Amino acid sequence: MDGCINFCVLLFLLLLFSYGCYAIWDSEQIYAAGNAANYQVYKPSEESELSFNDLKERNPDVLGWLNVYGTKIDYPLLQGEDNQKYISTNAQGDYSLAGSIFLDYRNTPDFSDFNTIVFGHHMEKSAMFGDLERFFNQDFFDHHKYGNLYFDRKDHGIEFFAFMEVDAFDSSIYTTPIRQIQAKQEYLERIKEQSKYYRDVGISIEDHLILLSTCTENTTNGRHILVGRVTDEVFPEPKESNKRLGKEVFFQSGTFQQKLKENWLVVCLFSFLIIVLFILYLSKKRTLKKDGENE
């Protein structure tokens, strides 16, 4: 009877260990899939557009590229027939819980609307729009004012001027596109009123706004939105941005996989040792019990 109980306990521990290992592995896979470094090979450059065009051929929904300086937000931009598709589909068109960075389906892909809304998951390890939460710090907001937006085969600048924390169902912010002159003015006033941080850069109804939206756990149904205007002037990328992303390039190479394997080996060996010690303990316990019965 004791042997059966011991076997059941051991089996339970093995199942618990297996489930824990799978959960860790699955989580790492999601974060790795959403890392910006995975897409750098497709990023358009002055030298060549071939890789970017290759991505567009694979998935015609790809329309541009977004880079927020000083963060790891450096991804292809997509747009689907609704706002559901790219919540769980990557830029290559494959299923992925990390999803993609995508425009609201109601917006025009050339950013000619007054307000264009861009969505992305809030993920740990700075994946997707995870780094938007860094703008919650005023010092970071004050020192990171620019980004780059590539579409229609050329670069455009982004000048960020507001950071908001709003409700996901706030229609006064999430209505797009705004077309009426009065509605545009009210929209700008609403942004200023709702902003946690705001820079006066002379925004007018003639500008084209871009709103980067992601989830936040700070409030129920909360959303963080970084607001900027699209400009013809292209702003140079600070060196710190290149260095910061460069440290993460190992995710797209074999280095990340190798480190993951090494960590898994340590975890597995430690777990195996625990199981062996437990088996030895049970064996010794049975031996002592038999010796006691024989006496």
Model confidence over 120-151: pLDDT tens digits? 999 988 899 999 999 999 999 999 999 999 99
Euclidean distance between CA atoms 17 and 103, whole angstroms: 41
Region 34-252: CATH code: 2.40.260.10
Give start and end residues of each alpha helix (H) in the chain: 2-33, 50-58, 138-143, 171-174, 181-194, 239-246, 254-294
Is pLDDT at 4 greater than 70 in this prediction? Answer: no
Please give the residue that has the higher pLDDT: either 295 or 192: 192
Please report the pLDDT score of residue 53 as a whole number.
93
Euclidean distance between CA atoms 17 and 211, whole angstroms: 43
Comparing 173-177, 184-188, 251-255, 282-286, which segment has the lowest mean pLDDT?
251-255
Span 49-75, average pLDDT: 95
The conformational region for residue 37 under phi > 0 = left, psi -120 to 50 = alpha, else beta, is: alpha
Task: Tell me if residue 99 falls in helix, strand or coil.
Answer: coil
* Secondary element (H or E) of residue 209: strand 209-215
Please give the residue that has the higher pLDDT: either 8 or 220: 220
Euclidean distance between CA atoms 66 and 195, whole angstroms: 22
Please give the residue that has the higher pLDDT: either 36 or 256: 36
Of residues 229, 208, 205, 72, the one with CA closest to residue 146:
229
Please report the pLDDT score of residue 273 as a whole number.
74
Task: Tell me if residue 161 falls in helix, strand or coil.
Answer: strand
What distance lies between CA 266 and its chain's CA centroid?
28
What percentage of the chain reaches a pLDDT higher than 70?
Answer: 72
What percentage of the chain reaches a pLDDT higher than 90?
Answer: 62
Please report the pLDDT score of residue 31 as a whole number.
45
Euclidean distance between CA atoms 147 and 135, whole angstroms: 13
List the chain domain ranges. Answer: 2-28+253-294, 34-252
How many alpha carbons lie under 13 Å from residue 211 in its C-beta half-sphere? Answer: 26
Please report the pLDDT score of residue 246 as a whole number.
44
Per-residue confidence band for 172, with pLDDT thresholds at 50, 70 and 90: very high
Is pLDDT at 6 greater than 60 in this prediction? Answer: no
Span 222-248, average pLDDT: 80
State the DSSP code for 281.
Answer: H
Residues with catalytic function: 121, 215
Span 216-222, average pLDDT: 86
Kindly report, residue by residue over 258-292, the tens digit of the pLDDT: 455 456 556 666 777 777 677 777 667 667 666 66
Please give the residue that has the higher pLDDT: either 251 or 239: 239
Computed over every residue of the chain, the mean pLDDT equals: 83
Euclidean distance between CA atoms 290 and 286, whole angstroms: 6
Please report the pLDDT score of residue 241 as a whole number.
56
Span 88-95, average pLDDT: 95
Please report the pLDDT score of residue 15 as a whole number.
61
Span 81-99, average pLDDT: 95
Euclidean distance between CA atoms 217 and 87, whole angstroms: 18
Please report the pLDDT score of residue 277 as a whole number.
75
Please report the pLDDT score of residue 63 as a whole number.
98
Please report the pLDDT score of residue 256 as a whole number.
46
Tell me phi and psi for residue 154, to 5 degrees. Answer: -155, 160
Is pLDDT at 293 greater than 70 in this prediction? Answer: no
Is pLDDT at 38 greater than 90 in this prediction? Answer: no
Per the listing, tokens 């004012």 go with: 145
Residues in the chain: 295
Cβ contact 147:69 at 8 Å: yes
